[in-house]
């Protein structure tokens, strides 16, 4: 017996603009068939909620199960969508965009293993505190583990590497389901942007049909917004009194900054405090503190020095830290051995890492508020007491002079050794355009840049994927950054990282302001520089994984202007044209010998380990 034909339901039940029938369970019997919904109104309304809450940039990857989400977002007039076919690359592109915006960027993919391909970037965003709104299309729950295609357990698939994981309803027959979907999207966006920022996952089960019928239109209905106003974290007068008393207990104060976004206001107050109080400030290249004239930018190199009495002279009484991860292993080892009596860490919220194993106080405030208030308070107290600041000039000079000596030794090293990738990085850093963005790939690229450093006059903002420190999305992240700014974005990367992430260039939106410096030593060169693998007979086959690739064909395939370099003369000749604003996206490939690079690095370590 065939299915009986349905007649349209009564007034208010049929919505031709959405192509859907809605069942009223109080009127129709339980077995009454219902015409399928193309795109439920709750899915349609995700777009205006996102747009009105400031999530207007989405990176989409093609797929069928995600079609309702894709169509809804693509048709909303205020939302900007970009298509990146490879989901792993797409997620890192979104990460780079969110780094530039400081606000959530959305991701949409189809069901199945596509969801798993987001995982590396999601983990990086979590530990780097970058906001992402991750929307993953899913099969209806009754089909999970029923041998249906592109189906796996997607609920909470990212585990502890997201701030939260939500699941939208599968069906929207009851009004409460619509209310739930609207509430979840509001909560997810609020949470992604709340300190500490990070990725939030929303899994979206979708039933067929997934596509509107020809000529069928969707309309964005009215939506409800749930706004979240963050509280301003401050310290009480009594807490400031206690901090000032601890401050007076020790003469040698040290400020160490981890990875941190550029802040002109923070630089200004640190510059004033450093000048008047003579407090050394140590920052890796990813701390974005290179504009401080007396900042210690070469801590990693100067702490190679093995003079134990000299190292003891650098022990702080009070250590103040802020920011995320620190690149310098030498700095970590130094502070773990030469522990301060007090260690204050500044972080408004979230789990706190004790990377130096010295933590004594967690201050739940922003660094800018803390240093600005601290400086004003101490300055006022000294004024009342009519005394001088309690600066330890010798301690300040020990850090400053050590950093300057390390920088001079590096310049001397390049004059006395053959051309290699270390020198190439230093030359490229010196040539960076003013008001530009620098992305540093993991492995040796970020380490070379941290040793070479940037100068105080350089107006360059620095990024690196140091949340999990993987190489898997460095190119894609830089592409995402370049998509979101008009400034020149330069990526310095190694060959393994570059070839591993070529799909970051595989889309139709390659930005013309992208510059890629590729250090090609034809293998994983870092393993030749590490004491452990360097001494093993398996080095070349199992660690370095030697490869014969060059990037000229990749540059041609993806439309990048190509500059080959094998000598310092080649590099100096090509750098002006490479960094010129015209000419579109460009790739400069520096080919070097892995053994020569290892010899130069060994000489660098030897030169910094002595007492001079």
Q: pLDDT tens digits, residue range 431-472?
A: 999 999 999 999 999 999 999 999 999 999 999 999 999 999
Label residue 29 exposed, middle or buried (CB < 10 Å: 0-12, 13-18, 19+): exposed
Asked if CATH classification 3.40.50.300 holds for the domain at 35-205, the reply, yes or no, is no
Contact 285, 327 (CB under 8 A): yes
Contact 280, 319 (CB under 8 A): no
Residue 59 dihedral angles phi and psi, to the nearest 5°: -110, 120
Contact 516, 560 (CB under 8 A): yes
pLDDT tens-digit series, residues 491-518: 999 999 999 999 999 999 999 999 999 9
Asked if CATH classification 2.30.30.40 holds for the domain at 237-400, the reply, yes or no, is no
Distance between CA 135 and CA 69 in Å, rounded?
9
The domain limits of the chain are: 35-205, 237-400, 417-609
Confidence class for position 264, pLDDT limits 50, 70, 90 = very high
Residue 564 dihedral angles phi and psi, to the nearest 5°: -90, 140
Confidence class for position 78, pLDDT limits 50, 70, 90 = very high
Does the pLDDT at position 268 exceed 60? Answer: yes
Confidence class for position 390, pLDDT limits 50, 70, 90 = low
The pLDDT > 90 percentage for the chain reads 81
417-609 to CATH, choices 3.40.50.450, 3.60.21.10, 3.40.50.970, 3.40.50.720: 3.40.50.970
- pLDDT of amino acid 147: 85
- pLDDT of amino acid 458: 96
Does the pLDDT at position 37 exceed 60? Answer: no
Does the pLDDT at position 23 exceed 60? Answer: no
Does the pLDDT at position 16 exceed 70? Answer: no
The reply to whether 417-609 shares the fold of 35-205 is yes
Label residue 590 exposed, middle or buried (CB < 10 Å: 0-12, 13-18, 19+): buried
342-346: Cβ within 8 A, 24+ apart = 342/246, 342/249, 342/250, 342/317, 342/318, 343/318, 343/319, 344/243, 344/318, 344/319, 344/320, 345/320, 345/321, 346/320, 346/321, 346/322, 346/370
352 to 99, 282, 343: CA distances (angstroms):
21, 20, 13
Nearest Cα neighbor of 475 from 505, 445, 512, 431 is: 505
Distance between CA 498 and CA 493 in Å, rounded?
6
Question: How big is the chain by its Cα radius of gyration, in Å?
Answer: 28
User: Which residue in the block uniquely carries the two structure tokens 């970009």?
Assistant: 82
What average pLDDT does the structure give for the chain? Answer: 90
- pLDDT of amino acid 427: 97
Does the pLDDT at position 236 exceed 50? Answer: yes
Confidence class for position 389, pLDDT limits 50, 70, 90 = low
DSSP-derived pairing of the beta strands 80-83 and 105-109:
unpaired
- pLDDT of amino acid 150: 85
**Beta-carbon count within 10 A of 550 CB:** 16
Does the pLDDT at position 422 exceed 70? Answer: yes
Does the pLDDT at position 2 exceed 90? Answer: no
Please give the residue that has the higher pLDDT: either 339 or 221: 339
- pLDDT of amino acid 231: 85
Mean pLDDT of 217-221: 90
- pLDDT of amino acid 378: 74
Q: Is 447 helix (H, G, I), strand (E, B) or coil?
A: helix
pLDDT tens-digit series, residues 127-164: 999 999 999 999 999 998 888 888 899 999 999 999 99
Mean pLDDT of 556-560: 97
Does the pLDDT at position 10 exceed 60? Answer: no
pLDDT tens-digit series, residues 272-325: 989 889 999 999 999 999 999 999 999 999 999 989 999 999 999 999 999 999
Does the pLDDT at position 7 exceed 70? Answer: no
DSSP-derived pairing of the beta strands 436-440 and 489-494:
parallel
């Amino acid at each position: 017996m065939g299915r009986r034909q349905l007649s349209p339901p009564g007034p208010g039940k049929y919505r031709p603009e959405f192509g859907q029938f809605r069942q009223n369970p109080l009127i129709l019997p339980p077995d009454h068939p219902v015409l399928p919904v193309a795109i439920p109104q709750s899915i349609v309304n995700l777009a205006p909620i996102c747009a009105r809450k400031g999530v207007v940039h989405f990176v989409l990857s093609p797929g069928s199960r995600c079609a309702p989400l894709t169509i809804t977002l693509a048709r909303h007039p205020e939302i900007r969508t970009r298509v990146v076919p490879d989901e792993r690359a797409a997620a890192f592109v979104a990460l780079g965009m969110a780094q530039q915006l400081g606000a959530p960027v959305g991701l949409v993919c189809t069901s199945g293993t596509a969801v798993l391909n987001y995982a590396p970037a999601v983990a990086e965003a979590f530990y780097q505190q970058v906001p992402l709104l991750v929307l993953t299309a899913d099969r209806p729950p009754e089909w999970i583990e029923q041998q249906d295609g592109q189906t796996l357990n997607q609920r909470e698939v990212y585990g502890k590497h997201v701030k939260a994981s939500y699941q939208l309803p599968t069906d929207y027959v009851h009004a409460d389901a619509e209310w739930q979907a609207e509430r979840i999207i509001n909560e997810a966006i609020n949470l992604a942007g709340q300190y500490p920022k990070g990725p939030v996952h929303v899994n979206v089960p979708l039933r067929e049909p997934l596509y509107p019928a020809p000529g069928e239109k969707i309309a964005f209905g009215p939506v409800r917004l749930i706004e979240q106003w963050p509280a301003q974290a401050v310290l009480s007068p009594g807490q400031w009194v206690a901090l000032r008393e601890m401050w007076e207990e020790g003469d040698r104060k040290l400020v160490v900054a981890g990875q941190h976004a550029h802040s002109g206001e923070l630089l200004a107050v640190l510059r004033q405090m450093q000048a008047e109080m003579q407090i050394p400030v140590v920052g890796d290249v990813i701390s974005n503190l290179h504009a401080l004239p007396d900042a210690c930018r070469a801590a990693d190199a100067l702490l190679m020095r093995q003079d134990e009495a000299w190292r003891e002279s650098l022990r702080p009484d009070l250590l103040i830290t802020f920011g995320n991860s620190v690149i310098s292993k030498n700095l970590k080892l130094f502070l773990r051995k030469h522990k301060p009596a007090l260690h204050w860490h500044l972080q408004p919220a979230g789990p706190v890492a004790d990377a130096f194993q010295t933590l004594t106080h967690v201050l739940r405030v922003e660094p800018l508020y803390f240093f600005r208030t601290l400086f004003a308070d101490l300055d006022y107290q000294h004024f009342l007491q009519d005394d001088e600041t309690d600066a330890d000039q010798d301690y300040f000079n020990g850090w400053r002079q050590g950093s300057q000596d390390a920088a001079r030794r590096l310049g001397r090293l390049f004059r006395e050794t053959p051309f290699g990738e270390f020198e190439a990085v230093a030359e490229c850093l010196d040539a960076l355009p003013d008001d530009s963005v620098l992305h540093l790939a993991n492995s040796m690229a970020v380490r070379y840049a941290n040793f070479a450093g940037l100068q105080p006059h350089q107006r360059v903002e620095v990024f690196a994927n140091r949340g999990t420190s993987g190489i898997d999305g460095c190119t894609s992240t830089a592409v995402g950054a370049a998509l979101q700014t008009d400034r020149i974005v330069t990526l310095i990367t190694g060959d393994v990282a570059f070839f591993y992430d070529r799909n970051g260039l595989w889309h139709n939106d390659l930005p013309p302001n992208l510059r890629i410096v590729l250090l090609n030593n034809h293998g994983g060169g870092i393993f030749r520089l590490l004491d452990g693998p360097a001494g093993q007979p398996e080095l070349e086959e199992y660690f370095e994984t030697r490869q014969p690739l060059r990037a000229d064909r990749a540059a041609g395939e993806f439309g990048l202007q190509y500059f080959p370099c094998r000598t310092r003369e080649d590099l100096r000749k090509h750098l002006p044209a490479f960094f010129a604003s015209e000419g579109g996206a460009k790739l400069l490939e520096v080919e070097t010998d892995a053994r020569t690079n290892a010899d130069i690095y060994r000489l660098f370590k030897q030169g910094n380990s002595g007492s001079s």
